[in-house]
Amino acid sequence: MKALSLWEPWASLMRCGAKTIETRSWYTSYRGPLLICGAKRWSDEQDAILRMPEIQRGLLKRLAAYTPLRRKRDMLFGQ
């Protein structure tokens, strides 16, 4: 099984269903289950949200399904 790390608050937002799409510039031939992990690094542009105590860093957030789209970038859809 593969894993993808997202900076906070994006991993927590994906966990609760508020964020359902993640784009990447690289292609992968992998299809199947994908673990979403909360990276220890915080997104600099979301400094106020990052201080929220309910957001935990460095933890497994959820299991998602990787579904590629026919676009320039692949997208991950959370379920």
User: How many helices (H) and strands (E) are present in the chain, helices listed first?
Assistant: 2, 5
Domain that holds residue 17: 2-77
* Contact (Cβ atoms closer than 8 angstroms) between residue 61 and residue 39: no
- pLDDT, residue 72, reads 47
Q: How many CB atoms lie within 10 A of CB 17?
A: 10
Enter the tokens of residue 33: 């289950």
Give the model confidence (pLDDT) of 18-74 as tens digits. 888 888 888 888 888 888 888 876 666 556 555 555 555 555 555 566 555 555 454
Number of domain units in the chain = 1
- pLDDT, residue 59, reads 53
CA distance 69 to 31: 12
Q: What are phi and psi of 75, to 5 degrees?
A: -130, 145
